Chain A
């Protein structure tokens, strides 16, 4: 009967048996098991906390940087001549976030008044805008819960509101007669989205003075945290048309003109609004533009300081994690090695009962994995307590802007993986030792 069992089934059965034996032995030897669990936890918990700290502090600083759109801006200093193929070339760059031509700074102003003319603001800066403009608030990107979040959601710390909810989305003007006002400007003019606004473009001097009066519509306001000061965001063609009017390239500019095609296509622009895609992109983009002979300004210094801090903290973390990992291998490896001595007779008995090498080696390996998983659970509880303390006591310094200590689910998963790897590495020596235990040992004692 048992002899007719297929070898594969017997093998599977014996492996399962080995697994069960390993766990039952751990349960029987509770005190030693607890000591090993705490050893693992004592190594893993500080490393988790440290990584959480590094992660939290750096992420908060980078978030702060990125929350200011000007961080990613590469400002072209003065007026220059940029061909349209130059724009095409830069638009194709992977490090580019946003690019739009603009006119000479001197001609990019407009006078505004509310419809009854009681409130007026003169010489307001005109900023061309288009879809993707980093200065315009966007909806927070929808974040579908990741696999781990869905799996462990209930045990993970709740996703704390680490950022105040971004202001509602503001779309760039869709037509030449539409404008966005900055919040300060809207307040001065007493205008709200949907209101009409009178714009005056002036040209000439002395007796040649001439005005173009345009009836435009406010379609939105740009919050102060995106742009401080007075400005309007308009379509590039409106900006170009006002410059053409000022330069005398067009005879007149009326509200009716705004309904049709406005400006003739240009091949050359005086300036550009350029934004990098991300922080490292600022540097590469700036270098390329400098190579094109442009004089530019960036927030490189501020970015550099944050990146240097991130690198330093990363290095400190790596060193400590490496030492922790090494300590983990040695501590767990040593403990398991000694354990094979203590369990020698049991292993020899298993051999005597006909259990093969696989089962006997599996026992220390399975025990090691179980200890690693259990120890990690303890470590995670310790981490949660420590992170809560950090966030509560040190978080005040950040004025609610971010988190001092945080771990993403993928970091946790990676930490579990590394712990298991270390445990298996530590157990391999013990496993080899177990494989040398001879069944005859239980007959030779006395």
Chain B
């Protein structure tokens, strides 16, 4: 079998002084109007490669919106600075948004980012193995390699590879989702309430596995969650949303 050379980016990660993976300043997003106007503001957010950060806030505070902005899913209304240095590239995401370069943004999202959703993060019509192979194949990676095999073993889904998602328990689905999000070795994983659908014990285990894998592979993680206690317990750097209490509508500001 063809053995691919180790990716250049790992080399870059270990031998260069760490620079910022994501550098955001003065980003705002809003939708709606009048007393339904909803605004989210991120004055400054700097994320180093491999860093684990929690985005916390009450439900409805716009945590998911922050994830959408940083995951290149929603266009920010204003951005003072929006820079990306994942996978050895140096990209001004702000400029890409200004140009509405959806293709380029989707390409960065596909190659360099991974997503863990609250539930149903797998395509229902593919087996677990098919889900894992999907992005790898489209990126020209072999469907399996030692790195992925190790992860499958650690998250204990080896026996479930040939089952479809609906045949798996919620915990198994969530573990498979984590492997899927990491399978193509992204530089950043965005997780939206990854443990809220699980009972507390299972939630702890899944969170541990996610963070352990990210640490092991040098992948930065942004977790949007309302579970403040769990985040405090894990000792994660926290960016929390505070209600700005505007005269009309809703406004939240996310800062360290």
Task: Point out residues on A near B: beta carbons under 8 Å.
Answer: 1-3, 5, 9-10, 13-14, 17, 21, 24-25, 27-29, 345-346, 349-357, 438-440, 442-446
Chain B contributes a number of interface residues (CB within 8 A of A) equal to 43
- Report if A10-B5 is in contact (Cβ < 8 Å); known contacts: A29-B125, A354-B110: no
Check: B158 CB closer than 8 A to any chain A CB.
no
Bits for B114-135, please: 1 = Cβ < 8 Å to A, else 0: 0101101111111000100011
A17 and B138 CA atoms in complex are apart in Å by 7
Check: B141 CB closer than 8 A to any chain A CB.
yes
A17 and B135 CA atoms in complex are apart in Å by 9
Check: B109 CB closer than 8 A to any chain A CB.
yes
Q: Which residues of A contact B134 (CB under 8 A)?
A: 17, 21, 353
Q: Which residues of A contact B192 (CB under 8 A)?
A: 443
Task: Point out residues on B near A: beta carbons under 8 Å.
Answer: 4-5, 7-8, 64, 67-68, 71, 73-74, 87-89, 102-103, 106-111, 113, 115, 117-118, 120-126, 130, 134-135, 137-141, 164, 184, 192
Q: Return B2 CB to nearest CB of chain A, in Å.
A: 12
A141 and B108 CA atoms in complex are apart in Å by 65
Q: Is the CB–CB distance between A443 and B64 below 8 Å?
A: yes
Q: Which of B5, B67, B107 contacts A443 (CB 8 A)?
A: B67
Q: Is the CB–CB distance between B125 and A353 below 8 Å?
A: no
Q: Which residues of B contact A446 (CB under 8 A)?
A: 118
Q: Return A306 CB to nearest CB of chain B, in Å.
A: 55
A356 and B107 CA atoms in complex are apart in Å by 8
Q: Is the CB–CB distance between B8 and A356 below 8 Å?
A: no
Q: Return A102 CB to nearest CB of chain B, in Å.
A: 78
Q: Which of A9, A28, A350, A357 contacts B164 (CB 8 A)?
A: A28
Q: Is the CB–CB distance between B111 and A345 below 8 Å?
A: no
Q: Return B153 CB to nearest CB of chain A, in Å.
A: 24
A14 and B106 CA atoms in complex are apart in Å by 12
- Report if A355-B110 is in contact (Cβ < 8 Å); known contacts: A3-B89, A17-B137, A443-B73: yes
- Report if A24-B139 is in contact (Cβ < 8 Å); known contacts: A355-B106, A356-B106, A446-B118: no
Q: Is the CB–CB distance between A1 and B121 below 8 Å?
A: no
A and B contact pairs by CB, cutoff 8 A, 13 listed:
A1-B7, A1-B8, A17-B134, A17-B138, A353-B109, A354-B106, A354-B113, A439-B73, A443-B71, A443-B73, A443-B115, A444-B64, A445-B118
A350 and B124 CA atoms in complex are apart in Å by 12
Q: Is the CB–CB distance between A354 and B111 below 8 Å?
A: yes
Q: Return B165 CB to nearest CB of chain A, in Å.
A: 10
Q: Is the CB–CB distance between A351 and B106 below 8 Å?
A: yes
Q: Which of B87, B106, B124 contacts A346 (CB 8 A)?
A: B124
A353 and B139 CA atoms in complex are apart in Å by 11
Q: Which of B73, B125, B137, B141 contacts A27 (CB 8 A)?
A: B125
Q: Is the CB–CB distance between A349 and B135 below 8 Å?
A: no
A21 and B8 CA atoms in complex are apart in Å by 31
Number of A-B contacts (CB under 8 A): 98
Q: Which residues of B contact A5 (CB under 8 A)?
A: 139-140
Residue of A nearest to B127 (CB): A24
Q: Is the CB–CB distance between B106 and A24 below 8 Å?
A: no
Q: Which of A2, A21, A28, A439 contacts B139 (CB 8 A)?
A: A2
Q: Which residues of B contact A356 (CB under 8 A)?
A: 102-103, 106-107
Closest 10 CB pairs of A and B: A354-B110, A28-B125, A2-B139, A440-B73, A25-B125, A354-B109, A440-B68, A443-B64, A354-B106, A1-B7
Q: Which residues of A contact B8 (CB under 8 A)?
A: 1
Residue of B nearest to A350 (CB): B123
Q: Is the CB–CB distance between B73 and A352 below 8 Å?
A: yes
A139 and B118 CA atoms in complex are apart in Å by 78
Q: Which residues of A contact B130 (CB under 8 A)?
A: 24
Q: Which residues of B contact A2 (CB under 8 A)?
A: 111, 139-141, 184
Q: Return B124 CB to nearest CB of chain A, in Å.
A: 7
A439 and B111 CA atoms in complex are apart in Å by 15
A14 and B74 CA atoms in complex are apart in Å by 23
Known A2-B140, A349-B122, A351-B106; further 12 A-B contacts with Cβ < 8 A: A3-B88, A10-B138, A13-B137, A17-B137, A21-B125, A21-B126, A21-B134, A25-B125, A353-B134, A353-B135, A357-B102, A440-B68
Residue of B nearest to A25 (CB): B125
Q: Is the CB–CB distance between A440 and B74 below 8 Å?
A: yes
Q: Which residues of A contact B120 (CB under 8 A)?
A: 345, 442
Q: Which of B109, B111, B137, B164 contacts A3 (CB 8 A)?
A: B111
Q: Is the CB–CB distance between A10 and B140 below 8 Å?
A: yes
Q: Which residues of A contact B124 (CB under 8 A)?
A: 28, 346
- Report if A346-B137 is in contact (Cβ < 8 Å); known contacts: A1-B7, A3-B87: no
Q: Return B218 CB to nearest CB of chain A, in Å.
A: 16
A352 and B124 CA atoms in complex are apart in Å by 15
Q: Return A31 CB to nearest CB of chain B, in Å.
A: 13
A1 and B137 CA atoms in complex are apart in Å by 13
- Report if A346-B89 is in contact (Cβ < 8 Å); known contacts: A352-B115, A355-B138, A439-B73: no
Q: Which residues of B contact A355 (CB under 8 A)?
A: 106, 110, 138
A4 and B164 CA atoms in complex are apart in Å by 33
Q: Return B44 CB to nearest CB of chain A, in Å.
A: 23
Q: Is the CB–CB distance between B118 and A353 below 8 Å?
A: no
- Report if A353-B126 is in contact (Cβ < 8 Å); known contacts: A1-B7, A2-B140, A5-B140: no
Residue of A nearest to B110 (CB): A354
